[in-house]
Structure formats: structure tokens, C-alpha cells
Amino acid sequence: VQLQASGGGLVKAGDSLRLSCAASGRPFGNYAAAWFRQAPGQDREFVAAISRVGSTTNYADSVKGRFAISRDNAKNTVDLQMNDLNPGDTAQYYCAAKNSFSTQRIPLPVNNGYNNWGQGTQVTVSS
């Protein structure tokens, strides 16, 4: 499956931003999906994941309560709604997907094992 992320930009602290990832090539409903981010000089960091049908989500502690992941399999998209952004959220954001047998659960580990990646979209939060 091919993934294409979009929606990044430059915002101020406290603002909101919505990222979207469009999938093509294979039925997106067969995949669990996730968002990761990588700031300059830092390792890639897990942000959020969602099961094939969207019934299960998982978040990094750093974004819990502020970010929301969702998907629309009819449109082959997975979105990341980001609220109350702060400069620490500045990073290149990547969407990812992995095959999943379960429709309800995210295959373990939820923050690893993704073998399909999109190009990143830059999010910059100014103070």
C-alpha cells in the first residue's frame, strides 16, 4: 500500500492542525495504521495507532488527550487531529501501515512493525 501524508504547516502554540494520509494500491481496510514523528536530531517517535476498523486506538503519553487518530476506509484515509499544539510537537510527521489479521485490535507491538511508510509532512509550532 502506498501512503501520502499532507496537512502540515506552521502554526502557533495552542493552535490546531489536522494531518491526513491517503492510501492507494491495496485495500486500506486490511491494515492497521499509525502516525510517527521525528524531530531534527532525534529518533523517530510513535504518536498514535488505530486498528483496521477504527475501534481501537493507542496514543503516546505525550499526545494523549490532545491528539486524535481516525480513519475512513471508504475514502482510504487516516487522519491525525492535533489540538493544543506546543513547540515540542514540532517534527516531520509520517503515516505508516502494517498488515493486521484482527479487525478490532492493533497488532503488537502497537509502536513497531510497520512496513509501509509515507513521506513526511512538516509540522512547526512557534511559541
- pLDDT recorded at residue 41: 94
Q: Which of 84, 89, 86, 97 lies closest to 49, judged by CA? A: 97
Asked, as a colleague might, if the bond just before 109 is cis with ω within 30 of 0, I would say: yes
Question: With pLDDT > 70 as the criterion, what percentage of the chain qualifies?
Answer: 100
Backbone angles phi, psi at 87, to 5 degrees: -55, -25
65-107 per-position pLDDT tens digit: 999 999 999 999 999 999 999 999 999 999 999 999 999 999 9
Mean residue pLDDT across the chain:
96
20-34 per-position pLDDT tens digit: 999 999 999 999 999
- pLDDT recorded at residue 63: 98
- pLDDT recorded at residue 38: 98
Q: Which residues on adjacent β-strands are paired with residue 18?
A: 81
Average pLDDT (54-67) is 97
Q: Which residues on adjacent β-strands are paired with residue 36?
A: 46, 94
- pLDDT recorded at residue 9: 97
DSSP letter for each residue of 61-110: TTTTTTEEEEEETTTTEEEEEE-S--GGG-EEEEEEEEE-S-SSSPPSST
